[in-house]
A = this chain, B = another copy of it.
Amino acid sequence: MANVLTSKDKDYAQWYNDLVIKADLAENSAVRGSMVIKPYGYAIWEKMQAELDRMFKETGHVNAYFPLFIPKSFFSKEAAHVEGFAKECAVVTHYRLKNDENGKGVVVDPDAKLEEELIVRPTSETIIWDTYRKWIQSYRDLPLLINQWANVVRWEMRTRLFLRTAEFLWQEGHTAHATSKEAIEEAERMLGVYAEFLENFMAIPVLRGVKSESERFAGAVETYCVEALMQDGKALQAGTSHYLGQNFAKAFDVKFATKEGTNEFVWATSWGVSTRLIGALIMTHSDNNGLVLPPKLAPYQVVIVPIYRKDEEFEKVNATALEIQTTLRKAGISVHYDHRDTYKPGWKFNEYELKGVPVRIAIGPRDLEKNQVEMARRDTLEKSFVGIDALPNTVLEVLENMQKSLFDKALERTRQNTYSVDTWEAFQDAVKNRGGFIKAHWDGTAETEKIIKDKTKATIRCIELDAPDEEGLCVFSGKPSKRRVIFAKAY
């Protein structure tokens, strides 16, 4: 096929951007930093939402919806929180436009200035905890397990489609608990849900860990995270789950009457994943021919392309294609049958390869004679002939195999690029020339962490939850360390 994408090896960032555009996933909009998520990209998000939503509900959560706007004064109530978000807030100051008196068109009406400015939510802890004060009086109101699907805005200066945009879509869970222990369990449970989703649906292996203090969410006591390694050796934070202690309960005065009759501040968590995950999906599996999608999240798992020249040929091919479509759908496989006569088969082959449809089935007159179809598998690009009688089982097997194979391949790559380094020279060389997850000793101070970041651009991605105790010396300062942490350059 014609190479419509820049090669991954030549320019990874350009390859990524080309792919997002050419596979019709998203594009930059006229609003600086805001993207348009195109139908094919949005269909992947819908698949992801459906699975996550099911998992949230199975763990006892319900959905709700809180306001887009947050009064500035609320936003400032938790000191660390406002400090963390103040520099990237879109601010609504007026509520009306009017015709300019000098005929310069439509202008903001200066008489319609808000008494208190409103912040477009960058995250909803403050407005939600202000609401929870009214909802929580007694231990009987706990735990409160709520999730919200929403858009949020963080005014990023450098944006990249899906990975970092001013507006993005996400879910944010906000839970309230009677004890610290329950809140920590919840934060860990949701980290587990994210890890399971990433590994079993997105076919992306992850490290589970906690953030260092400097990398924590603004207002959190502990930030749990799942981190994934992209094909270019950079890490991507795929999801975070925060144990918030009583910080927001204290900021918004949310207390509850215990069974014993005392009054206590409530314990909290929050957790979220966003459309950024689509960036992770692309960068984990795709190749120079385009997107590669795990079957469980593909908008359609199979595309059928009819091959014909004459109208009589189309009639026969079409009849069989429709039968196959029915057979596959009955087996629970999602199918797109592209019988448009405005595009040629070769064009369609390229298109669906670019779009990462897991299985392509082509049917021509000669195939009909042999009662077979040509099947192409997207990840390996292997082609084979399959008897029509062997459908849908062969397709089901291929889809299952592909889902597993994508995960195994990503896992193998992640393992090969996760390694220990013990000297500062080796560390610098590793960050610069090899990339990947670098396991190194760290003295536990924010000072050292900052120097390492300034000198190498590598950050502590996480302290793995299952990291073994291991005495050592900090790779930079030489001071004692109790275990290795994971360093990497990150998206």
Residue from the list B27, B39, B66, B153 in contact with A68, Cβ < 8 A: B153
Give A39 to B69 CA distance when docked, in angstroms. Answer: 19
| A contact face: mostly helix, strand, loop, or mixed | mixed
Complex contact A76–B106 (CB within 8 A): yes
Of A86-94, A234-242, A436-444, A456-464, the one contacting chain B is A86-94
Query: CB-nearest residue of chain B relative to A65?
Result: B37
Complex contact B96–A31 (CB within 8 A): no
Give A69 to B60 CA distance when docked, in angstroms. Answer: 34
Interface size class of A (residues with CB under 8 A): 35 or more
Asked whether A69 and B118 contact (CB < 8 A) given A39-B64, A97-B89, A127-B30, the answer is no
Q: Which residues of B contact A388 (CB under 8 A)?
A: none
Complex contact B42–A130 (CB within 8 A): no
Asked whether A96 and B131 contact (CB < 8 A) given A63-B46, A117-B108, the answer is no
Number of copies: 2
Complex contact A71–B30 (CB within 8 A): yes
**A186-199 vs B, Cβ < 8 Å mask (1 yes, 0 no):** 00000000000000
Complex contact A98–B86 (CB within 8 A): yes
Give A105 to B34 CA distance when docked, in angstroms. Answer: 29
A393 CB to closest chain B CB (Å) equals 28
A346 CB to closest chain B CB (Å) equals 16
Asked whether A34 and B69 contact (CB < 8 A) given A94-B93, A96-B88, the answer is yes
Q: Is A316 an interface residue (CB 8 A)?
A: no
Using a CB-CB cutoff of 8 Å, which residues 12-44 of chain A contact chain B? 27, 29-31, 34-39, 42-43
Complex contact B97–A67 (CB within 8 A): no
Give A94 to B94 CA distance when docked, in angstroms. Answer: 11
Q: Which residues of B contact A473 (CB under 8 A)?
A: none
Complex contact B93–A91 (CB within 8 A): yes
Complex contact B91–A92 (CB within 8 A): yes
**A50-77 vs B, Cβ < 8 Å mask (1 yes, 0 no):** 0000000000001111111111101110
Complex contact A70–B31 (CB within 8 A): yes
Complex contact B96–A155 (CB within 8 A): yes
A427 CB to closest chain B CB (Å) equals 35
Residue from the list B45, B98, B105, B118 in contact with A90, Cβ < 8 A: B118
Q: Which residues of B contact A105 (CB under 8 A)?
A: 76
Complex contact B94–A34 (CB within 8 A): no
Q: Which residues of B contact A45 (CB under 8 A)?
A: 65
Complex contact A43–B68 (CB within 8 A): no
Complex contact B95–A91 (CB within 8 A): yes
Give A68 to B105 CA distance when docked, in angstroms. Answer: 22
Q: Which residues of B contact A93 (CB under 8 A)?
A: 91-94, 108
Complex contact B90–A95 (CB within 8 A): yes
Asked whether A38 and B67 contact (CB < 8 A) given A90-B118, A91-B108, the answer is no
Q: Which residues of B contact A118 (CB under 8 A)?
A: 31, 90
Complex contact A71–B31 (CB within 8 A): yes
A276 CB to closest chain B CB (Å) equals 14
**A96-120 vs B, Cβ < 8 Å mask (1 yes, 0 no):** 1111000001101000000001111
**Best-buried of A45, A92, A117 by chain B (most CB within 10 Å):** A92
Query: CB-nearest residue of chain B relative to A45?
Result: B65
A226 CB to closest chain B CB (Å) equals 24
Give A127 to B28 CA distance when docked, in angstroms. Answer: 12
Complex contact B95–A88 (CB within 8 A): yes
Give A72 to B104 CA distance when docked, in angstroms. Answer: 13
Give A39 to B97 CA distance when docked, in angstroms. Answer: 35
Complex contact B117–A74 (CB within 8 A): no
Q: Is A257 an interface residue (CB 8 A)?
A: no
A192 CB to closest chain B CB (Å) equals 23
Give A71 to B29 CA distance when docked, in angstroms. Answer: 11
Asked whether A167 and B69 contact (CB < 8 A) given A29-B127, A96-B89, the answer is yes
Give A127 to B34 CA distance when docked, in angstroms. Answer: 11
A400 CB to closest chain B CB (Å) equals 26
Q: Is A368 an interface residue (CB 8 A)?
A: no
Instruction: Name the 7 nearest CB pairs between A and B, nearest first.
Output: A34-B67, A39-B62, A37-B65, A86-B97, A95-B155, A91-B94, A76-B106
Q: 7 additional contacts, CB 8 Å, given A42-B64, A151-B151?
A: A29-B127, A30-B71, A34-B69, A35-B67, A42-B65, A69-B90, A140-B343
Chain A residues close to B by CB (< 8 Å): 27, 29-31, 34-39, 42-43, 45-46, 62-72, 74-76, 82, 86-99, 105-106, 108, 117-120, 127, 130-131, 134, 140, 146, 150-151, 153, 155, 167, 169, 342-343
Q: List 6 A-B contacts (CB under 8 A).
A: A30-B130, A30-B131, A31-B67, A38-B64, A82-B97, A87-B96
